[in-house]
Amino acid sequence: MSPDAPLLFFDSGIGGLSILEPTAALLPNAPVVYAADTAAFPYGTRSEAEIAARVPALLGRLVERVRPRLVTIACNTASTIALDHVRAALDVPVVGTVPAIKPAAETSRSRVIGVLGTQATVRQPYVDDLAARFAADCTVLRHGSAALVELAEARLRGEPVDPAAVVAAAQPLFDRPGGERLDTVVLACTHFPLLADWLEQAHPHVAFIDGGAGIARRIAQLTRGQRWPAAAPPGRALFTGAVPDAIAPALRRFGIDQLGSL
């Protein structure tokens, strides 16, 4: 394994940065390629068939091009629909991002937990299965929001975003029957940790959790013993759509300096 072989992170947009950040903290010298399928963004309003066809094909092309040591699907929507297809299609290790229902069920005292994701994610059988296996004694309330995805993108672009709009977009979860007893909410879309501070302020008695730290540990475990460059090389981002210059300052904060097209 060449020390220069990168970690590849993949999302529809900028959400995967919430997985990249804790990974870079654990593996500071890791070369990083961040790929965003902006031409098909957002994934959350697409059909299962579209995602299942698109994501493995795109990741196949990306792996050919950047030769990563490991691929992270830093997107709950793509992972809950296409993780098995991607693993079957690629010959590199693939880490998925699936809703952190297990840790939520381990810590909830009220036994009422929430899953806040995209519309596509919250209807997946994968989520039914996680709830049945790890949260069988909990009430699991779900809400899918496309607005929250857009608000996270706008915030990262540096546009003015009203925290009240973020809180309002999440409110239907709390308005479900039993919602007043929610004490733990899974941020089941990688865009949402980028809005967590505002959700926490509005719901101080609720723990908002996501899988970022656990996924970072998994990546570190799978690459243990491998060689890395002596110093962190500049990170690269690749986009399927037009290169979004407005996002460049935010990407620099995550160590990504080079933007290009896929």
Residues in the site for ligand DGL, rule: CB under 6 A?
A: 11-13, 15, 41-44, 75-77, 118, 121, 149, 189-191
Q: Which CB atom, from 73 or from 135, has the smaller least distance to ligand DGL?
A: 73
Residues 247, 157: Cα–Cα separation, whole Å: 5
Q: Per the residue annotation, which of 17, 74, 135, 189 is the catalytic one?
A: 189
Q: Which CB atom, from 5 or from 262, has the smaller least distance to ligand DGL?
A: 262
Q: Which CB atom, from 12 or from 223, has the smaller least distance to ligand DGL?
A: 12
What are φ and ψ of residue 47, in 5° steps?
-85, 160
Based on the residue annotation, tell me whether 138 is a catalytic residue of this protein.
no
Residue 233 beta carbon to ligand DGL: minimum distance, rounded to whole angstroms: 25
Residue 41 beta carbon to ligand DGL: minimum distance, rounded to whole angstroms: 5
Q: Is the dihedral of CA 5, 11, 17, 21 positive or negative?
A: negative
Q: Compute CA 105 distance to the chain's CA centroid, rounded to the nearest angstrom.
A: 20
Residues 210, 104: Cα–Cα separation, whole Å: 9
Evaluate whether 66 touches 6 at the Cβ level (below 8 Å): yes
Q: Per the residue annotation, which of 24, 27, 70, 75 is the catalytic one?
A: 75
Q: Which CB atom, from 27 or from 55, has the smaller least distance to ligand DGL?
A: 55
Q: Considering just the CA atoms, what is the radius of gyration of the chain in Å?
A: 18
Based on the residue annotation, tell me whether 189 is a catalytic residue of this protein.
yes
Closest alpha carbon to 148 in 158, 136, 162, 137: 162
* Beta-bridge partner residues of 112: 139
Residue 227 beta carbon to ligand DGL: minimum distance, rounded to whole angstroms: 31
* Beta-bridge partner residues of 129: none
Residue 114 beta carbon to ligand DGL: minimum distance, rounded to whole angstroms: 16
Give catalytic residues, as residue numbers.
75, 189
